[in-house]
Chain A
Amino acid sequence: MPTNNYLPHLDGYVDNEGPKIVTSRFNDPNNYKISNYKASGGYQALESALDISPDAVAAEIKDAILLGRGGAGFPAGLKWGFLPDVYPRYLVVNGDESEPGTYKDRLLMEHDPHQLIEGCLITCYALGIETCFLYVRGEMALAQERLAQALNDAYAQGYIGKNIYGTDVGIDIVLHWGAGAYIVGEETALIESLEGNRGMPRLKPPFFPAVKGVYMKPTIVNNVETLSNVPWIVTNGADKYKEFGSEASPGSRMLAISGHVNRPGVYEVEQGEVTFRELFYGDNYCQGIRNDGDVKMFIPGGGSAPWFFEEQLDLPLEAKAVGAAGSMLGSGAIVVMDQTTDAVKACLRVVRFFARESCGKCTPCREGTSWEEKILQRILDGAGRPEDLDLLLDVGSQISPGDYPKAAWEAEGLEAVPFPPKQTTICPLGPSSVAPITSALRRFRPEFEAKIAAGRTTVGASS
């Protein structure tokens, strides 16, 4: 069977020093094989989970405060508690990772597919679920191949299917490939896609997956990394888990760092123990900015997160602290930009992503994001007008009305862009396009103005 011939295929994992929870087996290049996984203790967490009651397993996860790693950071144990007493219910694994800068779930699926499968099986057992859907992004060929092989092997060896470990517990896992749409990472759009429809989000309320999910049945959607933590917690216990990380955010996070750092990659980092500065400059991590430069701005948690600047470098990598400072750790994608970066171009780059990936379902996002893109493109093309900057903010405020349009945050002494945003849209994708605009304009308005002024002279001269 062809393996790893998907070129160019960058692995991206960086083995730094520090505690390992979900990447503990990453150093074995053959860990994706069931024999290797079992040799290092694989599927024993499942066995020990089956020895205790489902409720006890769920309680352990709840006690561990396992925060969701898909973006919103909602505690998994708490989410599981929302399931009404209705059967059948489903587990859906969100492996559609496509937030710009995020590539950590892919590594978890490629390096340790069985760890994810074991996490799914334990979760299903804990919640009385008999069918789990593994939704994997369409472009991730190697992850799909390894997961498919892993599922076949786990079925063949009896870890999935009927009578697992001789009990009367039966669980099926269905592998589903996405068709290449960022929006399908949003849980309700993912469910639509899974059901065979066009991937467009459903409105919450009323369609909260825990109540009305797949086929309108109660459904838990969890991220790949979230579920990959489950076997470790079951093996080692919630108390042990909470010895790592901060009180509010125990454990570790997979952080995908890209941009102008010397050693980009995915790092498993203990939550709250490392600052952004250490991450960017530390020898154990990214080893500094390219060409010995300085950070101009960085995105702390995926394209939809408001930007941070050098004054936030000493914040700890921890959800609560980052949230209090006006952004989010989100999906754990950190994009670092040095002083050579053109803020207008960077802003356009992110906005364009959201404009192109808007599912088109709701008016403000469909029309607003592409309008934002067109204005930014026009400014870069030298045809900007002074009024375009307030217009950008105003279009943004039609997608995500807040207190900050028309440069009001300065007048009100607001430290940061209000976050999470209010929205006129169905899902947060549209508002995601507003964060880079408000961030860039708040900080680099003179850069925008200079572009507009320069553009006006050139345009004037040639006409």
Chain B
Amino acid sequence: MTATESSAVKATTGVPFTLNGQELHAEEGELLIEACDKNGVHIPRFCYHKRMESVGMCRMCIVEVDTGRGPALQPSCMLTVTPEMKVETESEATKDAQDGVLELLLANHPLDCPVCDKGGECPLQDNAFAYGPGESRFVEEKRHFEKPIPISDLVKLDRERCILCDRCTRFASDVAGDSLIHFIDRGSSTQVNTFPDHPFASYYSGNTVQICPVGALTAAPYRFKARPWDLTGSPSTATVDSSGSRVLVQSSQDKVVRIQGVDSDAVNWGWLSDKERFIYEANVSEDRILQPMRRAVDGSLEPMRWNDALKQTSEALGKKAAAIGGARLTLEAQHVWQKVLADEFSVVSYDASLGDDVSADVVDSLPKATYDWAFNAGSVVVVVGQDLKEILPSIYLRLRGVVKDGSVELVEFNYKSGSLAKLARKSVQSRPGELAKDVKQAFTATPGERSSDLNCLVDTDKPLTVIFSRPNVAESADYLTEALQVIQSVRPDAHFLPAFRRGNTVGAQLAGLTPGVREVATEDEIIVEQVAVVGRPTAEILQEAANGEVETLLLLGADPISDFPDKALAEAALDAVNTVIAVDCFENPSVASANVILPVAMYGEVNGHFVNSEGRLSPLGARVTAPGLVRSDLEIAASLAKTAPQSNSDAQSSLETSHMLGSEPIAWDLLELSSEGARIKTPTKPIQRVKADVPTVADGLRLVIGNKLWDQGTIVENSRTLAGLCETFKVRINPADADRFGLTAGAEIVVKNAKATASVPFITDSSVAEGVLWAPANVRGFDPRSFVTFSESVCYVEVSAGEQK
């Protein structure tokens, strides 16, 4: 169930109708069930869901309606209010019908409420109690099915409990576009099921568990973990990506056990990706680091005292130090870290993002869109870069909805077609090094030479939003920057929406934890404070470190060895520095070379704020206490400030206030924090125009390294259920290229260039552009960054048939 309730405001104009004798008004085209809700009259329901099209299946919402031809029983979720309609929700006929539907729904229901996850928050229990007959006259043997069957790695289905409301199946096909669960069989044998051998492998499967009105669908990570009456919840925001989905974090016995989507009109409409929903499992991972650690001479880790750890850190930061990471912290922690690093330790080299995303400067130079603005009917959305489904999955659902119903036109530019390519007006397949050229061609061609599908881009009044992301870490970021600048020059009215992979990247920018100069303002453009910062791009930091010019490297929840585009450089840098301090919760390839590990609190353990890719500010709620000796980022930073050699008292007091959810860097009292979150608007700061290199022409394929939702990211790897979802490495090649190079499906192929040679599995995939070899980043099996030379703007590889097995 979603957590927002519409407030009861009675309309005085609109369609007049009579509800239980009261003269009222409904909106034009409004469903009767909604009109009743607004007027405080609750009609019981199961299948109706306000974010999906009604199907009128369960018949629970039947009421007596007279449209002039005498009273008739009608489902209120399918009926729009018409003038002079008379509705009786309390009449004998209505009550009989409701009573009847409940008796029938319960006839075959197993009534295993005592062992059912849903018991205590179950609409079937609630409606049976409020509207049901009280006892059953059904004495026959109940219907039986095997209980429960797994329909995916995350979701289990108990068909005996299912009331066949079509919510899960409707969600899967209509909202997610993953038509993998269906009704099968007929009559009372009707059941939800998957196709044989095709599990419900959807990025969104958890939503079906949340909207199932009974305990038929349960989530593997939550099953039997708690009872609803044990749960306490805190409103919060998902942080696994930058979409800013609103959630309720729920705990029992001081453990996060469930995350539910919250229906926020402006953001995620109640839907979550499975990553956003199930990420909390990592909090209780056995591998979590629960006390400060130091690396012994033999390379093993041994516990140490916090005081010693902080002292050692403080000393190390006092030398030539640099910091990487911080895009996943709360806004408060980002702010305090920035202050501590810059003011207390005079560290000037820091970068919250890892050089694998769009740079802060570029983002700052563009006028921003909100989701609502982008997805408003009659607009045009241009996606430049990766498939939104892989990087901002919950927002992808909103885009899918408006593209599918035809209210928004979509044009995409990428190296591998996105999940909406079939519904898009045009999906332009480009190649590394040619993105800017292809975008320019589309936006500047004369009407005669332009495909008519692209007419929505220029010479039109339709508002345009560009949703962009770094399309490929194996090529220079300049191509994307140039492409965005081209669009901006042709369409100065265009709005832009960055699709950052890391959660609080915009927060880090606002807090000044990314390189650049920024101003911060509220919605009404009042400039609140100007924050001038320096910082330094990760690439430069790592280069300096590799050159031996950095003594201490601080990793703020960062794993540059896995994420930075040039893996060798990251490794060299970590090797070359004297001291690596990791503020983290787990060991990962980079933390493996840390000398000191400061164990830090995780999601659901700290309060604070989050800024999503729109610039929308929303809260992060602490629901449970951090385990072991773990401390929050804020605490760690504040303690370090105290031990700082050149500790300055002004900064000290500023820190202490910040610590209590302080007043900087944003004037919190000027922002209204609504349930949708306030939005912070950053005025644009123009940057230099970029002219990317013309790519060299060579034989072979151009390498693209793109992202999948499930990868070996540290938190996913440490989530029991999610870890198994990461795929094994295989490359994708357009069938025409496979033919050209004589590659046979099923066999491995040899990929090589000057930097590396590898034999890897491959599949042909016509969604990949010709001339491109598409490889997933950071999945199991092989790291495609071994082919990349960071200084070259495009990376070529040669492919040939491998050994026949």
Which A residues are closer than 8 A to B by beta carbons?
181, 183, 198, 200, 203, 205-206, 355-364, 366-371, 374-375, 378, 391, 394, 397-398, 401, 422-426
The answer to whether residues A361 and B57 also contact, given A355-B188, A424-B62 and a CB cut-off of 8 A, is yes
Q: Which residues of A contact B164 (CB under 8 A)?
A: 360-361, 363, 366
* Inter-subunit contact A391/B186 (CB<8 Å): no
Interface pairs A-B: 4 shortest CB-CB: A360-B190, A398-B100, A370-B188, A367-B104
- The reply to whether B100 and A181 form a contact with Cβ atoms under 8 Å apart is no
CB distance from B170 to the nearest CB of A (A): 12
Enumerate chain A residues within 8 angstroms of B138, measured Cβ to Cβ: 371
Given pairs A369-B188, A370-B187, 8 additional interface contacts (CB within 8 A):
A183-B186, A198-B183, A360-B164, A367-B188, A370-B188, A391-B137, A397-B100, A422-B73
Once the chains bind, are B188 and A360 in contact (CB under 8 Å)?
A: yes
- By CB atoms of chain A within 10 A, which of B56, B73, B101, B187 has the most? B187
Q: Which of B78, B163, B183, B189 is in CB contact (< 8 Å) with A363? A: B163
Complex: chain A residue closest to B67, CB-CB: A205
Which of A206, A357, A424 interacts with B97 by CB under 8 Å? A424
Interface presence of B534 (CB below 8 A): no
* Chain B residue nearest in CB terms to A369: B187
B803 at the interface (CB under 8 A from A): no
The complex places the Cα of A355 from the Cα of B104 at a distance, in Å, of 14
A401 to chain B: which residues have CB within 8 Å?
73, 93, 96-97, 100
Q: Which residues of B contact A423 (CB under 8 A)?
A: 73
A contact residues around B187 at 8 Å (CB): 355-360, 366, 369-370
Collect the chain A residues with CB atoms within 8 Å of residue B79's CB. 205
Cβ contacts under 8 Å, B62 to chain A: 424
From known contacts A360-B164, A378-B140, A424-B101, infer whether A203 and B186 are also in contact, taking CB-CB under 8 Å: no
Is the CB–CB distance between B107 and A367 below 8 Å? yes
Bound together, the chains give a CA A366 to CA B185 distance in angstroms of 12
Q: Is the CB of A206 within 8 A of B78?
A: yes
Q: A206-B78, A367-B104, A424-B97 are in contact. Are A356 and B59 (CB under 8 A)?
A: no
> Residues of A contacting B59 with CB < 8 Å?
362-364, 424-425
Tell whether, in the assembled complex, residue B104 and residue A203 are in contact, meaning their CB atoms are under 8 Å apart.
no
Give the distance in Å from the alpha carbon of A203 to the alpha carbon of B62 in the complex. 13
Query: In the complex, which residue of chain B has the Cβ closest to the Cβ of A383?
Result: B139
Across chains A and B, the number of contacting residue pairs, with CB separation under 8 Å, is: 100
A interface footprint on B223-252 (CB within 8 Å = 1, 0 otherwise): 000000000000000000000000000000
Q: Which chain B positions have C-beta within 8 A of A205?
A: 78-79
Which of A356, A363, A364, A398 has the most chain B CB within a 10 Å cutoff? A363
Q: List B residues 64-109 near A (Cβ within 8 Å).
A: 72-73, 75, 78-80, 93, 96-97, 100-101, 103-105, 107-108
Give Cα distance in the complex from A422 to B96, angstroms: 13
Q: Report the Cα distance A314→B794, complex, angstroms.
A: 91
Q: Enumerate 30 A-B pairs (CB-CB under 8 Å) in ascending A order.
A: A181-B186, A183-B186, A198-B182, A205-B79, A206-B80, A355-B187, A357-B186, A357-B187, A360-B189, A360-B190, A361-B55, A362-B59, A363-B58, A363-B60, A363-B101, A364-B101, A364-B104, A366-B164, A366-B187, A368-B104, A369-B187, A370-B187, A371-B107, A371-B138, A374-B140, A375-B140, A398-B96, A401-B97, A423-B73, A424-B59
**Complex contact B73–A362 (CB within 8 A):** no
Alpha-carbon gap, A436 to B119, bound state (A): 39
Select which of B72, B104, B137, B186 is within 8 A of A356 by beta carbon.
B186
Residue of B nearest to A367 (CB): B104
Give every chain B residue within 8 A of A378 (Cβ-Cβ). Answer: 140
What mask results when residues 102 to 121 of chain B are scored 1 for a CB within 8 Å of chain A, else 0?
01110110000000000000
CB of A367 within 8 A of CB of B140, answer: no
Nearest to B141 among chain A residues (CB) is A374
A363 CB to nearest B CB, Å = 5
How far apart are A337's CB and chain B's nearest CB, in angstroms?
A: 25
State how many angstroms separate the Cβ of A210 from the closest Cβ of chain B: 18
Q: Which residue of B lies closest to A204 (CB)?
A: B78
Instruction: State the CA gap A205–B85 with chains docked (Å).
Output: 15
Contact status A367-B93, CB under 8 Å: no
Which residues of B sit under 8 angstroms from A181, Cβ to Cβ?
186
- Chain B residues at the A interface, C-beta cutoff of 8 Å: 55-60, 62, 72-73, 75, 78-80, 93, 96-97, 100-101, 103-105, 107-108, 137-138, 140-141, 163-164, 182-183, 185-190
**Partner pick for B190 among A364, A366, A397, A424, CB 8 A cutoff:** A366
- Rounded to whole Å, the gap between the CB of A167 and the closest CB of chain B is 33
Chain A nearest CB: distance from B550 CB in Å? 62
Contact call B186/A367, Cβ cutoff below 8 A = no
* Chain A residue at minimal CB-CB distance from B101: A363
CB distance from A199 to the nearest CB of B (A): 10
A356 — nearest CB in chain B belongs to which residue? B187
User: In the complex the two chains form, is A398's CB within 8 Å of B103's CB?
Assistant: yes
Bound CA–CA A369/B189 (angstroms): 12
Instruction: Please name the residue on chain A nearest to B169 by beta carbon.
Output: A198
Closest B residue, CB atoms, query A378: B140
Closest to B58 in A: A363
A208 CB → nearest B CB, Å = 13
Task: Report the separation of the CA atoms of residues A425 and B100 in the bound assembly, to the nearest whole angstrom.
Answer: 12
A183 contacts which chain B residues (CB < 8 A)?
186
The smallest C-beta distance from B80 to any residue of chain A, in angstroms, reads: 8
Task: Specify the chain A residue showing the minimal Cβ separation from B140.
Answer: A374
**Minimum distance in angstroms from A172 CB to a CB of chain B:** 25
Evaluate contact between B185 and A360: CB separation under 8 angstroms: yes
- Closest A residue by C-beta to B108: A367
A397 cross-chain contacts in B, Cβ below 8 A: 100
- Residues from chain B with a CB closer than 8 A to the CB of A424 are 59, 62, 73, 97, 100-101
Contact B78 A364 (CB under 8 A): no
How many angstroms between the C-alpha atoms of A449 and B104 in the bound complex?
Answer: 25
Which residue among A183, A364, A367 has the maximum number of chain B CB atoms within 10 Å of its CB?
Answer: A367
Cβ distance A272 to chain B, nearest Cβ, rounded Å: 30
| A385 nearest in chain B by CB position | B139
Alpha-carbon separation in the docked complex, A375 to B139 (Å): 9
Contacts of A391 in B (CB 8 A): 137
Closest Cβ–Cβ distance, residue B43 to chain A (whole Å) = 15
CB of A351 to closest CB in B, whole Å: 11
**Across the interface, do B182 and A362 meet the contact criterion of CB distance under 8 Å?**
no
CB distance from B572 to the nearest CB of A (A): 57
Instruction: For the complex, give the distance between the alpha carbons of A362 and B58 in Å.
Output: 5
- CB of A366 within 8 A of CB of B100, answer no
Chain A residues contacting B163 (CB-CB under 8 Å) are 363
Q: Which residues of B contact A364 (CB under 8 A)?
A: 59, 100-101, 104
Min CB–CB distance B193 → chain A (angstroms): 12
Give the docked Cα–Cα distance between A361 and B73 (Å): 17
Contact B186 A363 (CB under 8 A): no
**Looking at A205, A360, A422, A423, which has the most chain B CB atoms within 10 Å of its CB?**
A360
Q: B106 — nearest CB in chain A belongs to which residue? A: A367
Flag if A422 contacts B140 (CB, 8 Å). Answer: no
B188 touches A358 (CB 8 A): yes
Min distance, Cβ B174 to any Cβ of chain A, angstroms = 12
How many angstroms from the CA of A401 to the CA of B96 in the assembled complex? 9
Whether B78 contacts A371 by the Cβ 8 Å rule is no
A422 CB to closest chain B CB (Å) equals 7
Distance, CA A315 to CA B72, complexed state (A): 32
Q: How far is the CB of B473 from chain A (nearest CB, A)?
A: 41
Contact A398 B140 (CB under 8 A): no
B residues in contact with A367, CB < 8 Å: 104-105, 107-108, 188
Query: A426 contacts which chain B residues (CB < 8 A)?
Result: 56-57
Nearest A residue (CB) for B166: A361
Which residues of A are found within 8 Å of B103, using beta-carbon distances?
398
CA of A305 to CA of B433 in the docked complex: distance in angstroms?
Answer: 72
CB <8 Å contact, B104 and A398 = yes
CA A378 to CA B140, docked complex, whole Å: 9
Contact of A203 among B73, B78, B182 (CB under 8 A): B78
Q: Report chain B residues within 8 Å CB of A394.
A: 137
Q: What's the nearest-Cβ distance from chain B to residue A390, in Å?
A: 10
B464 vs chain A, min Cβ distance (A): 29
Closest A residue to B71 by beta carbon equals A422
Task: Give chain A residues whose Cβ lies under 8 Å from the Cβ of B80.
Answer: 206
List chain B residues, Cβ under 8 A from A374: 140-141
